A and B are shown apart, each in its own frame.
Chain A
Amino acid sequence: MNRIGVFVCHCGSNIAAAVDVKQVAEALGREQNVVFSAEYQYMCSENGQKLIKNAVKENALTGIVVCSCSPRMHEATFRKTASEAGINPYMVEIANIREQCSWVHKDITAATSKAIILGRAAIAKVRFNEPLTVGESGVTKRALVIGGGIAGIQTALDIADAGYKVDIVEKKPTIGGKMAQLDKTFPTLDCAACILTPKMVEAARHENIKLYTYSEVEEVKGYVGNFSVKIRKKARYVRENLCSGCGACALKCPSRNSGNEFNTGLDKRGAIYIPFAQAIPNIPVIDAEHCIKFRTGKCGLCQMNCAAQAIDFSQKDEIIEEKYGAIVAATGFDIINLDKFGEYGYKTYPDVVTSLEFERIMNAAGPTKGHLERPSDGRQPKTLVFVQCVGSRDTSGRGKEYCSKICCMYTAKHAMLTREKYPDTDVYVFYIDVRAPGKNFDEFYRRAAEQYGVHYIKGMVGKIYDDGNGNLMVRGSDIIANEQLTIKADMVILAAAAKPDDSARSLGTMLTASMDTNDFFTEAHPKLRPVESPTAGVFLSGFCQGPKDIPETVAQAGAAAVKVIGLLSKDRLKSNPCVARSDSLICSGCSNCEKVCPFGAITYADARVNDGTGMETRRVAVVNEAVCHGCGACAAACPSGAMDLMGFTSKQIFAEVDAVCR
């Protein structure tokens, strides 16, 4: 039998000025099941709470209705009061008579009668409230970082330094990511390798970090605190425990036909190779597609020359299963394919290159040893044209509609470095807007224009063509001078739009982490929770969340690490008890609920049920309470009414509707 207590708050004059609180308390006191009704100046105060507690004890209340401010304000307070008074905290309902009544209605009569109706609705609802208990689950004290670029490395280092175990999964044979390919970094012009490689070494040596390079995440199951992940460790055909990293195998390899990915395909590498000199781990990998031994069965030169006996052509992919408490996505970026931009002739002319290729050309460890040589004939170019926004800010469907953010600054850097090393070159930059918001960014860009004599032209390039004598002609507009100009260039560098790595989409699906239309991971809140995914236990680091430069990536990596540490430091996780629940007697196993669940919280299991016609085995929906967020999509989708949402059951809402419409 329900014994309900009603507590009407004056909130000083906030409520009492527009609502006749006495009348509300009296009217609600006459409602069915209401055995106690009172009003008080400040219900949320110490004395107000004491009043509630005493009333609960003296009247043996089973349910509490507080007519006060928004539940978003004090629901938690009154739940705690109920709990202290000895009844289940979920037996409390709030009637919002401040924000949604006294503050918005001037007429006392109307506001008072509305307050009574809102109170009745809360009473009607609380009659059907059920005591709910907060569930708890354990936390696996190990984190997984997916992606071994600067974002992943930094996140892993920060987590590891706090004393937690971290695994990094990197699909390439080495960690380091895109930053390892860069030459200098803006706006300080310090060398990327000099600041990155010590971090790579630290990550490899750290006792709490385990690296899975040349590996990919294949399956993610579980929920916050209890993820179970399958990692595919691809066969390197080199035994990691034996290899000394001497590199003799790579030198002896007779195959020289594979494009060197690290140098963006500008030169060739062997079929067995170490991506670059500072690679971590410093262990080669065999590219089976180009290896002569794999293709013809005859060769094995690397095996013959390996003193450590580390080459193993029979190696197979390995599946590793590991449990994690938290997962960080740090999948980084790539640049878009320029096939659709025929006007720039990227496919046709070898001297039209992307900025990443230019980065390798300018890099002392790159294919040209840092000498500016154009790809077609190795000549030093005298006129360079940089084109910005190639595919960025493009709504035509060929590119990406967002600003890639980093291009303005790296183009200024490239232009500056070129003019510094080769003062006799002419450097032109076609730009739409120069976006340089950041510490010392605008100063940096202005230095390129003012001190280094880089010609900035506001306008875009419409066409790049060959004049018939092997010269690249760049035709573009200068819309400030209001003229069309054609520049005879020796080399053109395209600032191609950056996009999230291709692996992000499938990873997002595996993690049930939401993504936007551009395949960037969505954050839980754009302002207040920028490093968390809406999926509990999944965190975001670096470019995979949105375009970022290195300092921002490192900052976000640290922030993601703190969130992970905060999660892993807990021994038990409390879960929201307002979750969906399925009645196996009614469930027909139709799968409607499973399809609408955005969190993958619903699975099917065989249950032994007896609905009065004898015992039978049925396929019924089962809700994983730790994964369910309590949105109720399943409850509304269920055709038979088997699925319901605790705290907002259909019965409760019907009762509220009835009370409001009475």
Chain B
Amino acid sequence: MQINEKDKSNRPNENPVPSDENFTPLIVAFCCNWCSYAGADLAGSGRLSYPAEVKIIRVPCSCRVNPTFILRAFQKGADGVILAGCHPGDCHYSTGNYFTRRRMTLLFSMLDYMGIEKERTRVEWISAAEGAKFASTMNEFAEKINSLGKCRRLGDLRCV
């Protein structure tokens, strides 16, 4: 499922970042241990390539991902954050991904409000059998982030 369905590409970027020829995005992917992480492993055993910019962090369940983890990634310079979990109804812990879906819907609209485009965040359901889906999702997401360019850094007021 893709939460950010509405295309907001026609909205002017208030703080345009100068386009950089050598821009390589930094993408953080939170993957649940039972489905998506296994799906990533399957993409590996199937040698299905996706950009090296995608860095995976393993969590037991997508519902373990506290919204602050995503905020922290953006704060530290991530250009895109993707959260992958089991398909609705298939959660290893029965209901975890339902919480994820609700939490992230709220968080993503808040990020959008803060000036981080909705397209930089995404929730995907990828099962342990969907290696190909994992690779294609990452390819597509990386392409999207590439087209969006560098993300504006969230300031950490405590560090000023």
Contact B76 A658 (CB under 8 A): yes
Taken together as a complex, chains A and B put the C-alpha atoms of A166 and B139 apart, in Å, by: 55
Q: How far is the CB of A566 from chain B (nearest CB, A)?
A: 21
The interface residues of chain A lying within 8 Å CB-to-CB of B38 are 72
Asked if A648 meets B64 with Cβ closer than 8 Å, knowing A104-B47, A121-B55, A631-B93, the reply is: yes
- Chain A residues 85-115 with CB under 8 Å of chain B are 96, 98-101, 103-107, 110-111, 113-114
Name B's A-contacting residues (CB within 8 A).
Answer: 26, 28, 33, 37-38, 40-41, 43-45, 47-50, 52, 55-61, 63-69, 72-73, 76-78, 89, 92-96, 99, 103, 135
**Which residues of the partner chain A approach B63 to less than 8 Å between Cβ atoms?**
596, 631-633, 636
Give a binary string over A457-496; 1 marks a CB under 8 Å from any B CB, 0 the rest.
0000000000000000000000000000000000000000
Which of A104, A633, A636, A650 makes the CB contact (< 8 A) with B50?
A104
In the complex, A114→B94 CA distance in Å? 33
30 sampled A-B residue pairs with Cβ under 8 A? A72-B38, A98-B44, A99-B40, A99-B43, A100-B40, A105-B49, A106-B49, A118-B55, A514-B95, A534-B93, A629-B93, A633-B61, A633-B63, A633-B64, A636-B65, A637-B99, A645-B64, A648-B59, A648-B64, A650-B66, A650-B69, A653-B59, A653-B66, A657-B57, A657-B69, A657-B76, A658-B76, A660-B28, A661-B73, A661-B76
| A578 sits at the interface (CB 8 A) | yes
Residue of B nearest to A110 (CB): B52
Contacts of A117 in B (CB 8 A): 55
Known: A72-B38, A99-B44. A630 touches B49 (CB 8 A): no
Q: A661 to B28, Cβ gap below 8 A?
A: yes
Closest 6 CB pairs of A and B: A99-B44, A632-B64, A661-B76, A631-B93, A110-B52, A103-B44
- Not counting A636-B99, A648-B59, a sample of 4 additional A-B residue pairs whose C-beta atoms are within 8 angstroms of each other reads A104-B44, A633-B63, A633-B64, A657-B78
CB distance from A12 to the nearest CB of B (A): 15
Contacts of B45 in A (CB 8 A): 99, 103
B55 contacts which chain A residues (CB < 8 A)?
A: 114, 117-118, 121, 660
Q: Give the shortest distance, in Å, between A527 (CB) and chain B (any CB).
A: 11
For B92, the chain A residues whose CB sits under 8 A away are 534, 631
Q: Whose C-beta in chain A lies nearest to the C-beta of B93?
A: A631
A636-B63, A645-B64, A650-B66 known; A104+B76 contact, CB < 8 A: no
Beta-carbon nearest neighbor of A596 in chain B: B99
* A70, A105, A632, A656, most chain B CB atoms within 10 A: A632
A-B interface contact total, Cβ < 8 Å? 131
Please provide the chain A residues from 53 to 83 with a CB less than 8 Å away from any CB of chain B in the complex. 70-72
Chain B CB count within 10 A is highest, among A70, A121, A629, A660, for A660
**For the complex, is A254 an interface residue (Cβ under 8 Å from B)?**
no
| Residues 188-224 of A contacting B (Cβ, < 8 Å) | none
Contact residues in A for B56 (Cβ distance below 8 Å)? 96, 100
Q: Chain A nearest CB: distance from B56 CB in Å? A: 5
Query: Which residue of the partner chain, among A99, A534, A662, contacts B94 with CB atoms under 8 Å?
Result: A534
* Interface pair B72/A657, CB less than 8 Å apart: yes
A187 at the interface (CB under 8 A from B): no
Shortest Cβ distance from A537 into chain B, in angstroms? 15
Q: Closest residue of chain B to A533, judged by CB?
A: B94
A658: which B residues are within 8 A, CB to CB?
72, 76
Q: Are B28's CB and A636's CB within 8 A?
A: no
A8 within 8 A of B: no
Cβ A121 vs Cβ B72 within 8 A: no
Docked complex Cα distance between A103 and B72 (Å): 29
Residue of A nearest to B66 (CB): A636
Q: Is A341 an interface residue (CB 8 A)?
A: no
Is B57 within 8 A of A656, CB to CB?
yes
How many chain A residues sit at the interface, stated as a range, is: 35 or more
Closest Cβ of chain B to A239, distance in Å, is: 44
Q: Could you say which residues of chain A place their CB within 8 Å of the CB of B135?
A: 104
Is there contact, CB below 8 Å, between A662 and B44? no
Main secondary structure on B side of the interface with A: mixed
Chain A residues, Cβ within 8 Å of B67:
636
User: Quick check: is A635 within 8 A (CB to CB) of the other chain?
Assistant: yes
Return chain A residues, CB-CB under 8 Å to B33: 72
Given A106-B49, A114-B52, A653-B57, A633:B96 Cβ within 8 A: yes
Residues of B within 8 Å of A632, CB to CB, are 59-61, 63-64, 96
| B residues in contact with A72, CB < 8 Å | 33, 37-38, 41
Q: Report Cα–Cα, A166/B77, bound state, in Å.
A: 59
A530 at the interface (CB under 8 A from B): no
Contact of A636 with B103 in the complex, beta carbons under 8 Å: yes
Smallest CB gap from B74: residue in A: A661
Report if A598 contacts B (CB, 8 A): yes
B41 contacts across to A, CB distance below 8 A: 70, 72, 96, 99-100
Contacts of A70 in B (CB 8 A): 37, 41, 44
**A158 → chain B closest CB, angstroms:** 28
Interface membership of chain A positions 637-653, coded 1 if the CB is closer than 8 angstroms to chain B and 0 otherwise: 10000000101101001
Measured between beta carbons, the chain B residues less than 8 angstroms from A101 are 52
A654 within 8 Å of B by Cβ? yes
The winner among B55, B65, B77 for most chain A CB atoms within 10 A is: B55
> How far is it, in angstroms, between the C-alpha of A100 and the C-alpha of B40 when the chains are bound?
7
Nearest-neighbour CB distance to chain B for A632, whole angstroms, equals: 3
- Proximity string of chain A (566-608) to chain B, C-beta cutoff 8 Å, 1 when within and 0 when not: 0000000000001000000000000000001011000000000
- Chain A nearest CB from B159 CB (Å) reads 13
Q: How far is the CB of B142 from chain A (nearest CB, A)?
A: 12
CA distance A637 to B63 in the complex (A): 9
Q: A373 to B49: give the CA distance in the assembly, Å.
A: 71
Minimal beta-carbon separation of B86 from chain A (angstroms)? 11
Q: Are B58 and A104 in contact (CB under 8 A)?
A: no
- Residues 532-564 of A, flagged 1 when their CB comes within 8 A of B and 0 if not, give 001000000000000000000000000000000
CB contacts (< 8 Å) of A514 on chain B: these are 94-95
In the assembled complex, which residues on chain B have CB atoms less than 8 Å from the CB atom of A633?
A: 61, 63-64, 93, 95-96, 99
Contact present for B26 and A103 (CB under 8 Å): no
Q: Shortest beta-carbon distance, A513 to chain B, in Å?
A: 9
Minimal beta-carbon separation of A278 from chain B (angstroms): 41
Residues of A within 8 A of B89 (CB): 516
A598 CB contacts on chain B under 8 angstroms: 93-96
**For A113, A633, A648, which residue has the most chain B Cβ atoms within 10 angstroms?**
A633
Q: Roughly how many angstroms separate A660 CA and B92 CA in the complex, as a whole number?
A: 27
Contact: B64 with A104, CB < 8 Å? no
In the assembled complex, which residues on chain B have CB atoms less than 8 Å from the CB atom of A99? 40-41, 43-45
* B-chain residues with CB within 8 Å of residue A118 when the two chains form the complex: 55
A632 to B64, CA, bound (A): 4
